[in-house]
Amino acid sequence: MKKQLEWKISEYSPDSEPFYMEVNGEIRLAEEAYAEKIPVMLKGPTGCGKSRFVQYMAYRFNQKNGRRTPLVTVNCHEDLTADDLKGRYLLSGKFEDGPALVAVKKGGLLYLDEVVEARQDTIVVIHPLGDDRRIMTVERLGKVFEAPDTFSLWVSYNPGYQKKTKDLKQSTKQRFVAINFSYPSKDIETQIIMKEAGIEQSTAQALTQIGAKIRNAKGKGLEEGASTRLLINAGKFIRKGISPLVACEAAILNPITDDVEAYRSVHDGLADVVRSFFPE
C-alpha cells in the first residue's frame, strides 16, 4: 500500500517531475514570464492540461532555484473571500495565514484555478501582486508583505464557460501574460494517453480519434467536447479489461451528456462512433 503523504500548505511542492508534453512553446513563455516576474494566465477548455502544466512548471522552477518552494493552489468559487486568501484571526486570537499570504511569504507559486468563479471584490486582492509592486497588504495585521523573487502568480479559467457576469475585468487581465491552451495534436494526444493510461498505441489512437469526433459535435447538442482527461480515463478502464464500449460509455459519453433523455440522439450517435472504432 502506498504511504499516505500529508503536507502543510507552506511545504507542498511536486517531489518528482510530473509528466507533461509541450504542445505549442508554452514552456519557454512560462519560463521567461517567471524570469521577468510577470504573472501568467492560462486559458483553455477543461481537461486540456492547464493544471498539470502548472505542476510541471513549479517542479522546473524549484529545480532551477535549488530549493523547495511551495505550489499553493486555490480552487476559486463564489464564496471565496479576501480573508480566505489573506488570512484571519482564529478564536484563540492567533492569526492564521491564508494561502495567498503563505505563497507570498514563502516565495512560492500561487495558482488560482478557475479564477473567474471568484467574486470581483476578492480578485482585486491580487492586483498589487500582479504589477511591479508585488506586494500584499494585510489590513488585519497592519502589515505590507513584499513578494520575494521566487514568488509567481498564476491563474487559469475556461473561456468557454465564462459569462458576462463572471468575466475578469480588464484591470485584472492586463496584469498577466496569457497563454492559450487547446487540446493537443493527434500525435501528441496519442502519446499522452498511452503514457497516462498505460495502453498500447493502437488503442490510444482509437481513443484520440473518438475524442476528435466528439469535439466536432460541440454546439450540436453538446455543451463541451471530450477532454484529454476523459480519454485517459477510458483508456485506464480498457487496460483493466472492461470492454471498450462500456469504458467509453462510462468515462466519455456519460460525463458530457447529463440528461440522457434530452441528449439521447446525441448520446446514441456518439455511441455509434465508439462502436466504429471498437466493434463488439
C-alpha cell at 251: 468515462
The answer to whether position 115 is within a domain reads yes
- Of 180, 200, 223, the one marking the end of a domain is 180
pLDDT at 155: 96
User: Is 80 exceeded by the pLDDT of residue 270?
Assistant: no
Give 98's pLDDT tier (boundaries 50, 70, 90): very high
Q: CB–CB of 200/190 below 8 Å? A: no
- Of 128, 152, 180, the one marking the end of a domain is 180
Looking at the structure, tell me whether residues 114 and 31 fall in a common domain.
Answer: yes
**Average of per-residue pLDDT across 88-100:** 92
Looking at the structure, tell me whether residues 217 and 272 fall in a common domain.
Answer: yes
User: Is 90 exceeded by the pLDDT of residue 189?
Assistant: yes
The answer to whether position 140 is within a domain reads yes
pLDDT digits (tens, 9 = 90+) for 213-265: 888 877 777 778 899 999 999 999 999 999 998 999 899 988 887 766 656 77
Looking at the structure, tell me whether residues 77 and 152 fall in a common domain.
Answer: yes
Looking at the structure, tell me whether residues 152 and 55 fall in a common domain.
Answer: yes
Looking at the structure, tell me whether residues 38 and 169 fall in a common domain.
Answer: yes
Looking at the structure, tell me whether residues 148 and 257 fall in a common domain.
Answer: no
Looking at the structure, tell me whether residues 223 and 122 fall in a common domain.
Answer: no
**Average of per-residue pLDDT across 98-102:** 95
The answer to whether position 3 is within a domain reads no
Q: Is the pTM of this model over 0.85?
A: yes
The answer to whether position 141 is within a domain reads yes
The answer to whether position 16 is within a domain reads no
Higher-confidence position of 265 and 39: 39
pLDDT at 274: 85
**Average of per-residue pLDDT across 109-126:** 90
CATH number reported for the structural domain that contains residue 35 in this entry? 3.40.50.300
pLDDT at 13: 87
The answer to whether position 133 is within a domain reads yes
pLDDT at 167: 77
Looking at the structure, tell me whether residues 49 and 163 fall in a common domain.
Answer: yes
Closest CA to 110 of 147, 137, 73, 83: 73
The answer to whether position 197 is within a domain reads yes
Domain membership of residue 47 as a residue range: 26-180
Output the CA–CA distances (angstroms, integers) from residue 172 to 64, 112, 120, 134, 165, in the order listed: 29, 13, 10, 14, 15
- The tally of CA atoms less than 13 A away on the side-chain side of residue 210 is 33
Find cell 503523504 and name the residue.
Answer: 5
The answer to whether position 5 is within a domain reads no
User: Is 90 exceeded by the pLDDT of residue 273?
Assistant: no
Looking at the structure, tell me whether residues 125 and 105 fall in a common domain.
Answer: yes
- Of 180, 197, 223, the one marking the end of a domain is 180
pLDDT digits (tens, 9 = 90+) for 132-184: 999 999 999 999 999 999 999 999 998 866 554 577 888 889 999 999 999 99
Say how many domains are in the chain. Answer: 2
Burial 167-181 (b: 16+ CB within 10 A, else e): ebeeebeebbeebeb
Looking at the structure, tell me whether residues 174 and 136 fall in a common domain.
Answer: yes
**Average of per-residue pLDDT across 11-20:** 89
Cβ neighbors of 78 (< 8 A, separation 6 or more) are: 117, 118, 119
User: Is 80 exceeded by the pLDDT of residue 125?
Assistant: yes
pLDDT digits (tens, 9 = 90+) for 54-91: 999 999 999 988 888 899 999 999 899 999 999 999 99
Looking at the structure, tell me whether residues 173 and 191 fall in a common domain.
Answer: no
pLDDT at 200: 95
Rounded Cα–Cα distance for residues 149 and 156 (Å): 22
pLDDT at 179: 96
Looking at the structure, tell me whether residues 45 and 79 fall in a common domain.
Answer: yes
User: Is 90 exceeded by the pLDDT of residue 4?
Assistant: no
